[in-house]
Structure 1
Amino acid sequence: MAVSTQPAVSPVDFDAIYAEAHRDPTRVPWDDQKPHRALVTWLNHVAPSLIRCGGRVAVVGCGLGDDARELMRRGYDVVAFDCSAEAIEWAREIDPAHADCFHVADLTDLPTKWHHRFDLVVEINTIQAVPPDRRSTIVNPLATLPARHGHVLIICRGAREPERSDDGPPWALTLDELASLTHEAGLEPEGEPCLFEDDKRPDVLRIRGLYRRAD
């Protein structure tokens, strides 16, 4: 695996991007103003038989909260968090009725009250935002969030071959890279993670995988 010499992106960097957008979501490069299509597909076809209505769900790196609001709409008890205080303030403004569901928190320093609390943990596109040699700092904390019989849903950019450190961001993952990361974090797959073409951008590959705690 290539080793990155690039500095990690800090909450300050993300704060600057959100602040400079001046409440215009089209100026946030990664915000689509709607929930991720791969999440919606999974919620429609898999979640009803896996996660009870009202189940506790954590949304990692929630940004402006599109995925979190979709989960709330479907009746889940959602805790959404992001390292960017600017993003969380904006998300609360978008949905003041659920403002208390959005929290400023960093994966590297999660509140202990969240440990082993959730029926489902949703992680979309956070892993791909960090250089390859720092991915474990994102994946390892994910294993602290699900309850004993809980699950972690990971959706990220996929690649058929490992990417170089100067290819990103984002840095797409191969199935083998994600398998190694999740195994080291104490997560095991439930079914086979899939590599597929984005239905709107056929030049982009995605990975979607469902995991549970190995213990």
Structure 2
Amino acid sequence: MAEAGREDPTGWFERLYAQASRGAATVPWDRGVPSVLLVEWAEREQVDGAGRTAIVVGAGYGRDSEFVAGLGFRTTAFDISPTAVRDTRERFPDTTVDYVAANLLDLPPTWLGGFDLVVEDMTVQSLPESLRSEATRAVASLVAPNGTLVVVAAARDEDQHVDGPPWPLTPSQVEAFAAGGLERLDVERIPDAVDPEVHRWLGLFTRHTSPASAEGVGG
């Protein structure tokens, strides 16, 4: 998988999901539950999505997406793999989520600046360094005025080399989500509850129309 990710930075996702659909492979990030950090943030901030929109980047099999929809958001979720989208719809036949096949590096223009909540959970880190800046800007471009971006990613030190995929994010790479008019609210480096040697980022960013009128999703 690592070699495929380096040589074919986006196409290998569809091949993996297609193999998994036939029972010939497993998807290693199919953890069966939504991101713990996303859930903890939503509970801490008492997030209420009623009347608001959300989008989940690289939705995979939809666990984050279903959680976000359960908060009341009108939720769109996309993945580059059409097979992932098809299989996720089958997993959740009664879902309210709009699952769509789309490429983060070629987003529909109508999505830009269109979502009150954007969830990026370990998608950008699956792309090689050569695409990192482009992918980061694309994620940031989805955030609506007064909207919030939640970033969850594996963490590494600035000078730490990894032979991915995935390529965990450095501090500067997490801070880079403050792009295209986004501002940093908070970035935490959090040790894993099971393995304290493993750390993850929880990054929160917002787009203000003006300092006086800005509100976070939880506000």
Q: Which amino acid aligns with 1:7?
A: E
What's the TM-score, normalizing by structure 2? 0.85
Q: Hey, what's the Cα distance between the residues in 1 that align with 2:163 and 2:70? A: 37
Cα deviation for residue 52 of structure 1 reads: 3.8
Q: 1:148 to 1:25 in 2, by over 3 A?
A: farther
Where does residue 171 of structure 1 map in the other structure?
Answer: 167
**Aligned equivalent of 2:190, options 193, 196, 199:** 196
Residue number among 131, 136, 159 corresponding to 1:134 in the alignment:
131
Query: Could you tell me how far 1:75 is from its partner in structure 2?
Result: 1.8
Distance across 2 between alignment mates of 1:26 and 1:40: 28
Within 2, Cα distance between the matches of 1:97 and 1:63? 17
TM-score normalized by the length of structure 1? 0.86
2:42 matched residue in structure 1: 43
Q: Distance in 2 between matches of 1:170 and 1:121?
A: 21
Identity within the alignment, % = 33
Question: Alpha-carbon deviation of 1:85?
Answer: 0.5
Q: Aligned equivalents of 1:65 and 1:52: distance in 2?
A: 17
Post-superposition CA distance 1:36-94 (Å, at most 9, x none): 1111101111252xx54242110000001010011122222110000110100011101
Matches within 5 A, 1:43-192: 43-48=42-47, 51-98=48-95, 101-164=98-161, 167-179=163-175, 181-190=176-185, 192=186
SS for the counterpart of 1:167 is: coil
* CA contact 1:153–1:210 (8 Å) conserved in 2: yes
Supply the distance in 1 between the matched residues of 2:113 and 2:140 (Cα, whole angstroms).
8
Whether contact under 8 Å (1:25, 1:31) holds in the other structure is: no
Structure 2 letter corresponding to 1:171:
W
Unaligned runs of 5+ in 1: 1-5
CA drift of 1:153 comes to 0.7
Would you say the 8 A contact 1:162–1:173 is kept in 2? no
Please report the RMSD computed on the Cα atoms of aligned residues, expressed in angstroms: 2.3
Q: Distance in 1 between matches of 2:129 and 2:46?
A: 30
Deviating more after overlay: 99-108 vs 30-39 = 99-108
Q: CA deviation at 1:163?
A: 3.4
Contact 1:91 1:99 in 2 (8 A): no
CA shift, 1:152, in A, is 0.8
Q: Match for 2:182: what amino acid?
A: L
More helix by share: 1
Q: Given residue 194 of structure 2, which amino acid in structure 1 is its aligned partner?
A: K
The residue type paired with residue 123 of structure 2 is T
- 1:26, distance to aligned residue in structure 2 (A): 8.3
Q: Give secondary structure in 2 for the equivalent of 1:193.
A: strand
SS of the equivalent of 1:98 reads coil
Match of 1:3 in 2: none
Alignment partners' CA distance in 2, 1:133 and 1:35: 28
Distance 1:199 1:108, change over 3 A: same
Alignment partner for residue 208 of structure 1, among 191, 202, 211?
A: 202
Unaligned runs of 5+ in 2: 1-5, 210-219
Aligned in 2, Cα 1:24/1:99: closer, same or farther, shift over 3 Å?
A: farther
